[in-house]
Structure 1
């Protein structure tokens, strides 16, 4: 495959001003992209896309070395209609829309010789979800997965991650004309795991993508979805939920690009945090391009801080390059328990601990209920309960 590279600036992560000075690249769409890891400087934590991340803990993913052959096992459970294939570099549709925008993604592109393709054929409506279970066994690994929903198909793909690993993962998502695809990625890693995932998607005319990120486990988990609404009438629903414990860093940098006309976007991420050193980072970038007339877009992030010593960072950004839109907005809020809610519940004879439990469950259930898979929803409710019990025991 021919490498597509935006030449890096003389100052990494920066762009030139006409007066000869340099300024950081703030806009997500302007970040350098390349298939070659050599085109990316090793992050030092001062770059715009790394300054909120613990680069020292992510360091294993910055080394361009081969991962272990048996570090990760992958089990796929799919209806018979789903087509599978192995895609080497240069074999379509691998790379049709995916271009790495950071060092771990570029290394994963190079180090994964055979990307796995899961394709839902044209016109097929899957009755059951496709499950991809990723199990880590300790060590460094790289992965590239291509998910393709052919025209007018309908289906759901669930990625489940568990075990111990240092994983750089690329997920390429192609939603063809008139298709409806749901992608759910669940991170329930062991506490020592480090996971950096780059999800890039294109949604064609009159197609819909529902993308849901659920992060509970792992030492450092960084899942960054990037979605291009390329076709007229395309639609994206980007949802996320995280529960960060003491010492955990859970992060998502979301990019939604309205490129086609009459596109719609809905972004909602929620996070709960408890324990000393618990941290979450959410950065939401929405770009409404010059041809995206008739766009309707909204993004929001809500965080609930349960204990002292926890910190949530929330940064929404919105760029509009056309005045002919239906609407666009963004919102962010981070706070502790609502004392009035607690008082109301306690006045009805509910203990303080139980009142707090009900508030947290109600807060996160808003995302859980959007998943639409009863078995998975039950599993996630149980995970929330386990997190609450762990927090109460501390």
Structure 2
């Protein structure tokens, strides 16, 4: 079936949106001549509380709430017939997270997920991507007035996986959206977290961590669209790289419209290079059309491992491999600790330790 008319071409790598991405490794997800299955591979991992529903529905009954210029997203919208819809009732306050787990097949697939948080609801949704797979995905997240949603996306793939996704959040008045994107697996992972404000008083916190080792390509492209007055956003992404041809890309775009007076925004990206042969590209951008704002800024740093920290710990009798692991844990701890989930925090730290061990550090 077709939800729109195709007016885009297979990228060549010369396009700005694709110039960093290794197209030859995408297993045809970007190639409009390649057949890709329409499949929903996410499923609930725990029982759903009263007031929460998870259903598979016809795509035509759940049209997109926003326009996208992302090629993968538009390909998904054109091809898919079914969509997974997670709805959280108004005024519902959940103490336990809703967990969705992906079980992929060997063939490439396209998938669309819609998450709707009702008025004044409070909830946490965790999506676990594990194992192998080739996935093109759109996740549309809608927060009604006063809703609060913690959204956690875990890319803990095997080393063969390819994952291209857009996470788009639409925030109503006084809504609070907190996103955690964690990428520590896969061959190629490209995630586009985007935010659109539709009501004053809304607040978006976007956190991310990524760890790339030998040959991995991990790419995160953030875009925040401040189109209303008196909204606030914060972005904080941290990445580490170790091993030959480890590659990360971080693009941060914030657009403040002329009508968006009272905007308060800041974006930060920090990268830690642990070995020679690793490369991190970091490009923060701000476009501001009004001077009547609270604040707007960005910062980006990329640097080598701090040998002084390592020397300090070793001088206290800590072996070099343990000292290195402690420094890296400390680098990521600022963001991982915000999850406020002890088992999940330790699980991610253990995965980072495992990735570090693979490059012989």
- Contact kept, 8 Å, 1:220 with 1:248, in 2: the verdict is yes
Partner of 1:370: helix, strand, or coil?
helix
> What is the aligned counterpart of 2:53 among 74, 83, 92?
83
In structure 2, C-alpha distance between the alignment counterparts of 1:242 and 1:300, rounded to whole Å:
14
In structure 2, C-alpha distance between the alignment counterparts of 1:224 and 1:73, rounded to whole Å:
19
Partner residue in 1 for 2:265:
297
Deviation at 1:2? 10
Distance 1:59 1:137, change over 3 A: closer
- The reply to whether residue 358 of structure 1 matches residue 326 of structure 2 is yes
Partner residue in 2 for 1:227:
195
Partner of 1:62: helix, strand, or coil?
coil
Q: Deviations over 1:34-55 (max 9, x none)?
A: x44x311111111111001111
CA RMSD after TM alignment: 1.9
> What is the aligned counterpart of 1:55 among 17, 23, 30?
23
In structure 1, the gaps of 5 or more residues are 4-34
Runs of 4+ in 1 over 4 A off after TM superposition: 68-71
In structure 1, C-alpha distance between the alignment counterparts of 2:237 and 2:58, rounded to whole Å:
34
Partner residue in 2 for 1:153:
121
- Contact kept, 8 Å, 2:38 with 2:110, in 1: the verdict is no
- Contact kept, 8 Å, 2:225 with 2:256, in 1: the verdict is yes
- Contact kept, 8 Å, 1:71 with 1:139, in 2: the verdict is no
In structure 2, C-alpha distance between the alignment counterparts of 1:327 and 1:2, rounded to whole Å:
43
- Contact kept, 8 Å, 1:71 with 1:140, in 2: the verdict is no
In structure 2, C-alpha distance between the alignment counterparts of 1:115 and 1:139, rounded to whole Å:
19
In structure 1, C-alpha distance between the alignment counterparts of 2:19 and 2:211, rounded to whole Å:
21
- Contact kept, 8 Å, 2:38 with 2:81, in 1: the verdict is no
- Contact kept, 8 Å, 2:230 with 2:264, in 1: the verdict is yes
Partner of 2:215: helix, strand, or coil?
coil
Using structure 1 for the length normalisation, give the TM-score: 0.87
Deviation at 1:192? 1.3
Partner of 1:136: helix, strand, or coil?
coil
- Contact kept, 8 Å, 2:42 with 2:100, in 1: the verdict is no
> What is the aligned counterpart of 1:96 among 62, 65, 85?
65
Q: Deviations over 1:5-40 (max 9, x none)?
A: xxxxxxxxxxxxxxxxxxxxxxxxxxxxxx44x311
Residues 38-53 of structure 1 aligned to structure 2 (within 5 Å): 38-53=6-21
Structure 1, 176-185 or 372-381: larger mean CA deviation: 372-381
Partner residue in 1 for 2:281:
313
In structure 2, C-alpha distance between the alignment counterparts of 1:266 and 1:353, rounded to whole Å:
34
Partner of 2:13: helix, strand, or coil?
coil
Partner residue in 1 for 2:212:
244
In structure 2, the gaps of 5 or more residues are none
Using structure 2 for the length normalisation, give the TM-score: 0.94
In structure 2, C-alpha distance between the alignment counterparts of 1:185 and 1:228, rounded to whole Å:
19
- The reply to whether residue 118 of structure 1 matches residue 93 of structure 2 is no
- Contact kept, 8 Å, 1:131 with 1:158, in 2: the verdict is yes
In structure 1, C-alpha distance between the alignment counterparts of 2:35 and 2:121, rounded to whole Å:
37
Partner residue in 2 for 1:10:
none
